[in-house]
Copies of this chain bind each other. A is one copy, B any other.
Amino acid sequence: MPTGHDTQARALPVSPSTGALRPLDLHEVRVTGGFWSDFQQRNATVMIRHAEDWMERVGWIGNFDAAVEGRLPADRQGREFADSDVYKLMEAMAWEIGRTGDAELEARFEALVDRIEPVQEEDGYLNTHFGRPGQQPRYSDMEWGHELYCFGHLIQAGVARGRTHGRDRFVEIAIRAADHVCETFGPDGLDTICGHPEIEPALAELARYTGERRYLDQARLFVERRGHGRLGEIWFGPEYFQEDVPVREAEVLRGHAVRALYLAAGAIDVAVETGDEELLGAVTRQMSRTVARRTYLTGGMGAHHEGEAFGDDFELPSDRAYSETCAGVGAAMVGERLLLATGDPAHADLVERVLLNVVATSPSEDGHGFFYTNTLHQREPGTTAAADEVAPRAASSLRAPWFAVSCCPTNVARTVASFGTYVATADDEGVQLQQLATSEVRTTLPDGCPVALDVATDYPHDGRVRVTVREDATRPWTLRVRVPGWATDGAVLRVDGAETTVMPGYAEVRRAFRAGDVVELDLPVRARWTWADPRVDAVRGQVAVERGPLVMALESTDLGEDVNLAAVEVGSAPVERDGQVLVRVRTAAAAERDWPFVTEPTHPDTVRDAGLVPLVPYHRWGNRGPSTMRVWIPEA
C-alpha cells in the first residue's frame, strides 16, 4: 500500500493513503454552529438514543443476549441482517464519542460491547442468525444471508472506534471477524461473494487502519469476483447485486442502488490503494453517467420500488421515486471517495446535494421519525404514522419511528456524527473548504506550516461564508473554498476589500496568511427555477425551485389545498420575502370524467389564483402532519 498519508490514527471513516486530497479528520475540524451543528445536536441528543431504544424494544440488540443464553434460534428477532443495525448504531456512537467525548455515551457503547463480545466464536465468526443448531449453516445463503454485509458494518464500526478511541476490545472483535473472513474467503477459501456489498469498503478501510495489506487483498478479491455469476439466480435478476457485469467492465450503476453504491465505494478504495487506474477510471465513469442520467434533482438514487433499484437512463418518476435514504448515504460515500482521489469539486457538489436533500430529509424535525424512501411527489396525504409502531419499509407520506427493515436511521446517524470529516481537505499547497459550515479548522501542512481557520456562515440558508485566519503561516499557502456548481451567477470572493467574481470550482487565495486575515465568499443563494433534460419524461412541462443547494417543495400545508392540480407562473423569478421563498400558484379543477383520455388537449380551468405561496426546503417537508407535496410543479 502507498503510505503517502497517515491512514491509521486519523478520526475519519475514509482515510486513503494516497490521492489528490487528504481529508481532515474530526480532531482537525469542529463544526461549531449553524445547520450542521444543529443537526449533529439532534443526532446526539435524540436520534442515536432513539435508534438504541428501538433496537432494544424490537429485540435486535437482545439477539446477542439470546445467543449467549442459548435461546437462539427460538428468540431471534428481526431480519437476517438485524446485527448490522446494531453495528451501524455503534459506529454512530463511536464518531459521536470521538466528536464530543460524551462519557454517558461511552458507557452505553461499552455496555453494548459487553453484550456482543461473548457471542463471537473462537474462529472470529459472529452472527446471531446463522450457524447454531436449528439455524441455517454459515454461508449457506450467500444471496440473501447478509453475513459478510454484517461483518462489513462491524468492521466499519471497529475502525471508527479504533480511530477515535484507540485499539480496544471492540476493535479486536472487528479484527478477529476480518481475519475470519480472510481465512474463509481467501484465494484458497470459499470462492464467492456476499449478496449485499459492504465488506469491500470495510476491509479496505481496516487495511488502512491497521496497515495490514491482507485486508486490502481480500477486499480486492471480493471486488474482482463480482460480476461473474457466482451467486445463484434470484427473482430480481443478477443485476440486483451487480452480478451481471464485472465491476471494471460496467458502464453505469444499476440494480439495487445501495448495493451498487457500497460496491462502488469499495472498488474506489481498492483502486486507490492498489494504484489501479483502470478500475478507478471505470467506477468514475459509471458514477458520472449515473449522476448525469439516473439521479434525482435531490441527489436521490433509485427510481424503482421494485428491487429498490436504479431505473433506465432518464427514468426518474417523481411520484415513484424510491430514493432510499441509505442510497443517499451511499452516494455521499462514493462522492467523497472520488473527491479525495481526483480533487474534482464536482464530487463535493454531489455530496452537498445528497446530504442536504436526501440524508437531511430522512429524519423528522424532532428526530423521532424517518423517511425510508424520499419521494418527489406525494399524491395522497396518507394517515398519521403511529409513534409507537414499526412501519413497512416504504411508507412515504409520513415519517415512521422504526421499520421492519430499519437500515436508514442508523445510516443517517453515523453520517451526521461524522459530518465534520466532509468539511475540509488538504494537499501540499494548502487547505480546501469542501462543505460550507460554521466550523473551526486546525491542521498542519506537510512541511509544518500551521493552518487555523474559523468559518462562519449561515449556509445553506445564506450564501455568505466568512473565513478568518487564526494563525500566521510560515510560508505562502493556498486556501480554496468550493464554489458549488449551481453558483454560476454572481459568486463573489472578497479579500482585503477587493472583490473578484468567481465561477464554480474552487475560489482560491494564495498568500502567507497572517492571523486576522479574512476571506469572504458570497454565494448567490437565491431562489431559481430549474428545468429537466427533456428525456426525463416524468417532469415534462414542470419546473422546480432550488435555492442555493436546497431543493424546494410545494406542500399542501402551505397551499391550503391539495397540490396535485397546482401550477406555477414562471414569468418572473420566485419571490424572496421575510426569509421565505414564494411562487405564484394557480390552482385548478379538473373535469371529472368517466374516462381520463379525451380528444382535446386538457387544460385544467383555473379556479383560483392562490397568490404567492411559500415553498419549504424539501428536507423539511412532511413535518406538519399529513400533506401532499410536489418538487416538480407544472408550469401554468
Contact = CB atoms under 8 A, between A and B. Distances in A.
A369 B395 CA distance: 37
Contacts of A313: 379-380
Contacts of A237: 392
A474 interface: no
A87 to B, nearest CB: 24
B533 A596 contact: yes
Contact of A602 (B404, B534, B598): B534
Contact of A600 (B295, B311, B531): B531
Given A534-B634, A593-B292, A317 B317 contact: yes
B485 A595 contact: yes
Given A235-B393, A564-B314, A534 B297 contact: no
A191 B458 CA distance: 62
A377 interface: yes
A594 interface: yes
Interface string A524-538: 000011111111111
B535 A564 contact: yes
A142 B450 CA distance: 70
A542 interface: yes
A315 interface: yes
Contact of A588 (B297, B534, B588): B534
Interface in A518-564: 528-544, 564
Copies in the complex: 2
A288 B593 CA distance: 10
A314 B304 CA distance: 18
Interface residues of A, number: 66
> Which of A318, A533, A544 has most chain B Cβ within 10 Å?
A533
A393 B488 CA distance: 46
Contact of A537 (B404, B488, B538, B544): B538
A319 interface: yes
A592 interface: yes
Contacts of A600: 531
B597 A533 contact: yes
B538 A596 contact: no
B537 A377 contact: yes
Contact of A319 (B530, B537, B540, B597): B537
A291 interface: yes
A609 interface: no
A80 to B, nearest CB: 14
A189 interface: no
A315 B377 CA distance: 10
A599 B530 contact: yes
A297 B541 CA distance: 20
B392 A292 contact: no
Nearest to A294: B596
A292 B596 contact: yes
B346 A594 contact: yes
A375 to B, nearest CB: 11
A380 B319 CA distance: 21
> Which of A393, A404, A601 has most chain B Cβ within 10 Å?
A601
Contact of A304 (B305, B564, B601, B604): B305
Nearest to A312: B379
A378 to B, nearest CB: 9
A536 B528 CA distance: 26
A277 interface: no
Contact of A288 (B295, B319, B594, B597): B594
Nearest to A304: B305
A293 interface: yes
A565 interface: yes
A511 interface: no
B319 A602 contact: no
Contact of A590 (B533, B540, B602): B533
Contacts of A57: none
A291 B531 contact: no
A577 interface: no
Nearest to A317: B317
A429 interface: no
Nearest to A600: B531
Given A533-B596, A597-B533, A320 B315 contact: yes
A290 to B, nearest CB: 11
Contacts of A533: 590, 593, 596-598, 602
Contacts of A595: 291-292, 485
> Which of A393, A531, A592, A600 has most chain B Cβ within 10 Å?
A531
Contacts of A534: 565, 588, 590, 602-604, 634
A178 to B, nearest CB: 33
20 contacts: A237-B392, A312-B319, A313-B380, A314-B379, A314-B564, A314-B596, A317-B317, A317-B319, A319-B537, A320-B320, A346-B594, A377-B537, A488-B599, A531-B599, A532-B597, A533-B593, A534-B602, A534-B603, A534-B634, A535-B596
Interface of A: 235-237, 288, 291-293, 295, 297, 304-306, 311-315, 317-320, 346, 377, 379-380, 392-394, 404, 485, 488, 528-544, 564-565, 588, 590, 592-604, 634
Given A312-B380, A377-B537, A531-B600, 4 more contacts: A295-B596, A311-B319, A532-B597, A535-B590
